[in-house]
Chain A
Amino acid sequence: MFTRKTHSETSNGLEDGIAMPNVHRRTFLKYAGMGAAVLSTGSVLSSCSSDDDNDGTGVSLGSGDTAVLNYAFALEQLEAAFYTQVILTPYTGISDEEMSFLTDIRNHEIAHREFFRKALSTSAIQDLQVDFSSIDFTSRDKVLAAAQTFEDLGVSAYNGAGKYITTPAYLGLAGKIVSVEARHAAYIRDLVSAGSFSSNADSNGLDAAKTPADVFAAAGVYIKTKINTNTLPK
């Protein structure tokens, strides 16, 4: 990881990218059986360090860069589902500007989710089942607190996963998305507490970077579908 890369995999460059435009969306057939098998409700993914593996069952993220992209796809699915619910059942006292910006954020997360679905093509994981039963969507405080958690977590997930990506074009795409997530995070933080847009920075002025294990430990409570995180690069 610390040695000089040959970058042989970069010869295609950005232009070829990761999309295969002629490939249709992933075939649901491929996952029909798997989906039924792995929807163990309420399973909470958690572990103490990146060395802890789960039991190896659940939705496979694939390996290498595919696993990292599926990891991002999973998080974008979670965020998109959350904001879809927020807009479907707006919290009490939502302002016009909040409604407008939260709708923007929903649309961005849907754009991210659908981008990963297309880009991953047949390697994309299935649609995940989410569980937001712990969130009171009528409460501004509760919704914004959850939104802050999701956005800060998303930023830290991308920041932590960047080093696992071996294809420069994919790293570039993660970079294009993470700063938008950071913009969301700043906006949400300011709604929660004015002026807190970047108050999660450490003493070096750095944002958080989290391992996939830590991210799933935090997000797992909202994801019903069991995910096998063992194949994520470490």
Chain B
Amino acid sequence: MDLQNIFSEIEKKDPEIYERLDTRRNVMKQFGRVLAMSAVPFALGGMLKKAYGRTPADVLAVLNFALTLEYLEAEFYAQAITHTSLFPTAASLQAFTTIGTHETAHVAFLKSAITSASGTPVDKPTFDFTAGGTFSNVFTNYGTLLGVAQAFEDTGVRAYKGQAATLMENSTVLTAALQIHSIEARHAAHIRSMRRALTGDTKIKPWITGKYTDIAATQPVYNGEENEIQANVTITGIATQVTQDAATESFDEPLTKEAVLEIANLFIV
């Protein structure tokens, strides 16, 4: 996506967009031509607010919900990588560092998006990554560390997915949320591969089979993933290759905000 396309699309829908955007039409045109979207997160959001009156509160609410989850993830990886001796290989530490860098970037990106839409980013909560003792050795046991990481990533994927429809209000925000969503899925796949290698549990794959988890405490993260019916179409057996496992693996399922917060709140003091 680039801004020039966005502006030309808006202009098609609303030929007076530049007039609405005050007297800065030439600046605007120039702006669209030269700046990459990635360099200016949601600068556009602020302009549209001027153009159309307001950014819907529900979009802001979703952004703050997402920010809370990204705070959780970013803080988790930031703390994890300080325990360098916990990681058995340089590659495993590097993976956590890479993922942590993305989560920290997501935090900054979302805060900027919220601010530019005249919202107020929520404060970072205080976290307890042991979840009140359930994962008491999270930063002393590599297996537990990976288990919690997997739960966070798979939850993140489901959380963004659950909010997509609300973001239809604002296609710029929707696209950005989708772009975060698929990165979380990439993280999840990699962490799951790390756990497959560590545990030797061949039921752990980069994708989610049924509602399977080898960690009972993380079951709420996976409940519902066993769904085999999409838009009234039964996926199992839709072709000879599509077993029940394949049917559930081939579609990830959303979680409601409430279900996600129930999981996240276990880690929030």
Please report A residues at the B interface, Cβ cutoff 8 Å.
Answer: 1-5, 10, 14-19, 21, 49-51, 101, 104, 106-112, 114-115, 118-119, 155, 158-160, 162-163, 165-166, 168-169, 171-173, 175-187, 189-190, 194-195, 197-199, 201-211, 234
Asked if B169 contacts A4 (CB within 8 A), the reply is: yes
Task: Please report which residues of chain B, range 104-145, place their CB below 8 angstroms from some CB of chain A when the two chains form the complex.
Answer: 104-106, 108-109
Q: Looking across the interface, which residue of chain B has its beta carbon closest to that of A116? A: B233
Cα–Cα distance between A63 and B105 once the two chains are bound (Å):
37
B105 lies within 8 A of A204 (CB): yes
Q: Are A183 and B232 in contact (CB under 8 A)?
A: no
* CB-based contact A176/B179 at 8 Å: no
B228-243: CB near A (< 8 Å → 1, else 0) gives: 0011110100110111
Could you say which residues of chain A place their CB within 8 Å of the CB of B184?
Answer: 179
Residue in A4, A195, A205, A211 whose beta carbon sits within 8 Å of that of B105 in the complex: A205
A111-B247, A197-B187 given; A204·B254 CB < 8 A: no
* A170, closest chain B residue (CB): B231
Known: A49-B5, A114-B239, A204-B41. 20 other contacts (CB 8 A): A2-B13, A2-B170, A19-B231, A21-B233, A104-B249, A107-B241, A108-B249, A115-B235, A119-B231, A172-B161, A173-B251, A178-B181, A179-B161, A180-B251, A186-B206, A198-B186, A201-B183, A205-B103, A207-B178, A234-B9
**Chain B residues in the interface with A (C-beta under 8 A):** 1, 5, 8-10, 12-13, 38, 41, 48, 51-52, 56, 91, 94-95, 98-99, 101-106, 108-109, 157, 160-161, 164-165, 168-172, 174-176, 178-190, 193, 205-207, 230-233, 235, 238-239, 241-243, 246-247, 249-254
Do B182 and A14 touch (CB < 8 A)? no
Assess the B178–A162 pair: CB atoms within 8 A: yes
Assess whether A171 is in contact with B164, with CB atoms less than 8 Å apart. yes
Q: In the bound complex, do residue A197 and residue B238 qualify as a contact, i.e. CB atoms below 8 Å apart? A: no
Are B238's CB and A182's CB within 8 A?
A: no
- B246 and A205 contact, CB distance less than 8 A: no
Q: Which of A159, A180, A197 contacts B252 (CB 8 A)?
A: A180
Judging by beta carbons under 8 Å apart, are A187 and B193 in contact? yes
Are the C-beta atoms of A207 and B9 separated by less than 8 Å? no
Among A21, A160, A172, A198, which residue has its beta carbon within 8 angstroms of that of B183?
Answer: A198
CA distance A19 to B233 in the complex (A): 6
Q: Are B181 and A163 in contact (CB under 8 A)?
A: no
Nearest opposing residue in chain A for B170, CB measure = A2
Cβ 8 A contact of B179, one of A5, A183, A187, A209:
A209
Contact yes or no, B178 A107, CB < 8 A: no
Assess the A195–B246 pair: CB atoms within 8 A.
no
Residue pair B98, A183 in contact (C-beta under 8 Å): no
Q: Which residues of B contact A172 (CB under 8 A)?
A: 161, 164-165, 254
Residues A168 and B165 in contact, CB atoms below 8 Å apart = yes
Among B94, B193, B231, B247, contact of A18 (Cβ-Cβ < 8 Å):
B231
Assess the B205–A101 pair: CB atoms within 8 A.
yes
Measured between C-beta atoms, what is the minimum distance from B213 to chain A in Å? 16
| B30 shortest CB reach to chain A, Å | 18
Could you tell me if A203 and B186 are in contact, using CB atoms closer than 8 angstroms?
no
A-B contact pairs, 27 of them (CB 8 A): A2-B172, A4-B56, A50-B5, A104-B205, A106-B241, A107-B243, A115-B238, A118-B238, A171-B164, A175-B160, A175-B181, A176-B230, A178-B181, A179-B181, A183-B206, A183-B252, A184-B207, A187-B189, A189-B186, A190-B193, A198-B102, A198-B187, A204-B38, A205-B183, A209-B178, A211-B1, A234-B12
A180 near B242 (CB under 8 angstroms)? no
Known contacts A111-B239, A115-B235, A182-B185, A206 near B109 by CB under 8 Å: yes
| A4: chain B residues within 8 A (beta carbon) | 56, 169
Our pick among B5, B91, B182, B205 for the contact of A159 (Cβ within 8 Å) is B182
Which B residue's beta carbon lies closest to that of A87?
B241
Shortest C-beta distance, A76 to chain B (Å), equals: 10
Quick check: A118 and B1 within 8 Å, CB to CB?
Answer: no
B146 CB to closest chain A CB, in angstroms?
15
Report chain A residues within 8 Å CB of B181. 175, 178-179, 182, 207
Q: Nearest A residue to B248 by beta-carbon distance?
A: A111
A171 is contacted by which of B56, B165, B233, B249 (Cβ under 8 Å)?
B165
Contact of B250 among A111, A118, A166 (CB under 8 A): A111
Contact flag A175-B207 (CB < 8 Å), given A19-B232, A207-B183, A208-B179: no
Alpha-carbon separation in the docked complex, A19 to B230 (Å) = 9
